[in-house]
Every structure is written in C-alpha cells, then in structure tokens.
Amino acid sequence: KAAKQAQLTAENDRMNSIRDSLKDSGVIATGIGSTAAATQSFAAQQRIDNAALIAEIQALNARADELSRRASLTESEAKAAASQSLAEIQKALEDQKAVAAKANEALARANAELAQANESAKANEAAKAAKAEAAEKVLADARLEAVASKTEAKKRAYAELNTRIALLENRKRSKTITEEEFKEQLAKFRQELGL
C-alpha cells in the first residue's frame, strides 16, 4: 500500500511538473528545454510503471507454476490450494483493474491539459506551436501508457482464465464436479473476465 501511495505521489508530482512547464504567465513554457525536460520526466515514469507491470506479470506466472504443482496434490490439499490461489488471483486482477483505471485517469488529465494548452495558444501565436508540440507529446505518452496498461490487463485476464481452467480440469479429473458444472463454471469465468 505504501508503494502504491508513493507511486501516486510521484505521478502527481510528475503531472504538476508537466503542467508548470506548459504555462508561463498564462502561456506555455518559453523554452524547448523545459518542455523536453517535462517530456523526459513523463517518459521515465512510464518506463518505471511498465517495469512494475512486467514484475506483476512474472509474479502471476510464478503463481500459475505453483498451481500446476498443486494439481498433483491429494483432493483435499488440492481444494485448499485452489481456494487460496483463486483468492490470490482475484486480488491480482483487482490490482490490475486499478492500474488500468489509473492509466485512464492519466489519459483524461492529459486530454484536459491539451485542451487548456490549446486555449492558451490563442494569446501568443509563436507559443502556440511549442505548446501544441508539448501537449501532443504528453497525450501520445498517456495514450501509450493506457494501451500498455490495457494490454497488461488483458494478459492478466488470460493468465487468470488459464489458471482457473487448470483448476477446473483438476476438479473434473478428481470427479468433484461434473462435465456440465465444468462447462457452466468455465462460461462464468469467461464472462467475469470479459473474454
């Protein structure tokens, strides 16, 4: 939780930095250097965020491996392990949904900043070109972040579905559920994950 709070604080600081670089007495930053610095800061944060997402995906893959190991356990052990793993996967999916929501918020903020930048550009034609360039860069980076986050969310959803299918197949093999129950739960999982 502290790491998430630190990440949120860092993102707020980054967005404030970008906002400050886009205005200079009601107009955008007068120098390309300050715009470039803000853009580089935003890009660096995106790389950090993407690295965190990759680490989370690797953790999910490790959980999937653990579930495969647990498939060879006794029926009671397998049921206990499956319940615990399902809870962990559901929590990971909720975390990923939060990351995707955060990316959508960043995109909305970038769009709002772009709109504000376009309005300020009317005051100074020379500043308009620099402002539009900087705002487009921010928007493009935010779109890339949103696409990356949504892609990762999709990967996690498929990883969770595969894990759930493996658990269901294990239960079917151990005859704790029927073929019909297997199909019903599989359809429910797909619907729940939006796949």
Task: Tell me, letter by letter, the H, E, C secondary structure of 28-89.
Answer: CCCCHHHHHHHHHHHHHHHHHHHHHHHHHHHHHHHHHHHHHHHCCCCHHHHHHHHHHHHHHH
Query: What is the distance between the alpha carbons of residues 104 and 143, in angstroms, rounded to a whole number?
Result: 9
Residue with tokens 């399902």: 86
Determine contact, residues 45/16, Cβ cutoff 8 Å.
no
How crowded is the C-beta side of 19, counted as CA atoms within 13 Å? 14
Determine contact, residues 29/35, Cβ cutoff 8 Å.
yes
For residue 73, name the pLDDT band (cuts at 50, 70, 90): low
Per the prediction, the chain carries an average pLDDT of 77
* DSSP assignment letter at 177: S
> Tens digit of pLDDT for each residue in 159-180?
887 888 888 888 888 888 888 9
Give pLDDT, residue 34: 58
Give pLDDT, residue 37: 65
For residue 121, name the pLDDT band (cuts at 50, 70, 90): low
Give pLDDT, residue 46: 79
Closest CA to 46 of 110, 92, 90, 1: 110
Share of the chain above pLDDT 70, in %: 83
Please state the pTM of the whole predicted model. Answer: 0.30
For residue 72, name the pLDDT band (cuts at 50, 70, 90): low
Neighbours of 103 (CB within 10 A): 24
Query: What is the phi-psi region of residue 54: left when phi exceeds 0, alpha when psi lies from -120 to 50, beta otherwise?
Result: alpha
Determine contact, residues 26/120, Cβ cutoff 8 Å.
yes
Asked if pLDDT for residue 88 goes beyond 80, the answer is yes
Share of the chain above pLDDT 90, in %: 1
For 29, phi then psi, to 5°, come to: -60, 140
